[in-house]
Chain A
């Protein structure tokens, strides 16, 4: 096994361990730093195409390069001209012919690796102060690393995307003044907001087993003064999975709840959403 094959394997091994142990937000920065170390580059960074006017440096080592903005169009032209393959510059072109000159100052050689993960395409860029010769073994190592990097980038983007969604929806559902309960038809998962947890006497909002949610809702229903009416409506409601109900009165000792229950059916999830007003 050649030195460069070992380095490619080393990269895959180390990034496999990392994604199990550490937080996703630093995963890409760690991976880029690792490539820099393995290739003994002087700079390593991600250049993300954020919009039509912005290609921005991220996860840079050294960190002072972070935030530099380049024009995306000339860089995209360069990538297009090279068939979106990795570009190996043993000698970096002069600034006038080099769309990346703003981040390749005082360097002799560079490698530009497209990492396409639509919609957030980006590049990884490595640079060396001393002139480099890029052997076929080195290039093979870079291609292996770039495949793993694409996986890492996809994984990071997806995780961060889901984290943002979760944060947003948690904030929205926390703010809604109604008690909400979702029970998944899989029988394994359910969810409740803060108002719902308070109403049902549960410890807090978030994921709950459907059995716990069902028990708590049954207790609430049984405590109603019109529990027999509720039972009759429930029989009707559950006679078909498509049925829904609104303005269903649950008369408790101190107040009356207006209850709604809707089927939730998407490609990914099916269950019932309960809303108590």
Chain B
């Protein structure tokens, strides 16, 4: 299958620029979520946007429940994309689960991504009391989360979007996220959500060899502050920065802050 079509890839900005920024969206949204972030970079960088299979306008028939049973399938997709576009000097900006997807790619396909930006990323969402790890969710919370998703996906999407987006003074943001979630095929959304919420890639963090920026927001339902601190502590050559916004989507709720954070890192 054609990779460009599969992932609905768009390459914009300065197509002849020596450096490339790859923006990768998180669960329930698509490449348009970076709309307000990319403009300042389009003069000096080649910019690559794409949709993860199962979301956005990616080729639905490319969805394989086996390939995407874990996020390794998405890391292989990133390898396909970077290889198909013959990209070099890549900075990978991954929101949420795509942060870990980019991180896995950097570990298993070294030498292609030069720098990583992790926006609201987490290596594990489930608490691990035996190892004093706080991921933000316990077993009961995840069980009830998936029960709610399976019972009435659309109702769950409406409720979850408000909790994840925060920024109650701008309800249109949560409404947009809810609409985006509701466009997903529920069975795919549930499988991908399980792959995300039950993943555990803490052991991969020390293997990262490239400079990494961890971007942390406040009051993030999916990623508590301590997770960002954990990432900074366990990824060699990483640093953490806080952006002044609430919720799990800083690039949507506070694009200016995210732009400044990325610019300071490039």
Contact = CB atoms under 8 A, between A and B. Distances in A.
Given A71-B76, A71-B80, A102-B76, A54 B66 contact: yes
B88 interface: no
A53 interface: yes
**Chain B's interface: helix, strand, loop or mixed, by majority?**
helix
A64 B107 CA distance: 12
Contacts of B143: none
Interface string B28-63: 000000000000000000000000000000000010
B203 interface: yes
Interface in B174-219: 203-204
A101 interface: yes
Given A53-B62, A69-B72, A102 B204 contact: no
B70 interface: yes
B133 interface: no
A50 B67 CA distance: 8
Classify the interface of chain A: helix, strand, loop or mixed: mixed
B64 interface: yes
A165 B64 CA distance: 23
A53 B73 CA distance: 9
B73 A69 contact: yes
Contacts, number: 46
Interface residues of A, number: 17
A170 B145 CA distance: 30
A52 B109 CA distance: 22
A105 interface: yes
B110 interface: yes
A275 to B, nearest CB: 34
A95 to B, nearest CB: 7
A56 B76 contact: no
A67 B108 contact: no
Contacts of A71: 76, 80
Most buried by B among A53, A67, A101, A105: A53
Contacts of B108: 68, 102-103, 105
Interface of B: 62, 64, 66-67, 69-70, 72-73, 75-76, 79-80, 107-111, 203-204
Interface of A: 50-54, 56, 64, 67-71, 95, 101-103, 105
9 contacts: A53-B62, A53-B64, A53-B66, A53-B73, A54-B64, A68-B76, A69-B73, A95-B109, A101-B109
Smallest CB-CB A-B distances: 7 pairs: A54-B67, A53-B64, A54-B66, A50-B66, A69-B73, A69-B72, A53-B67
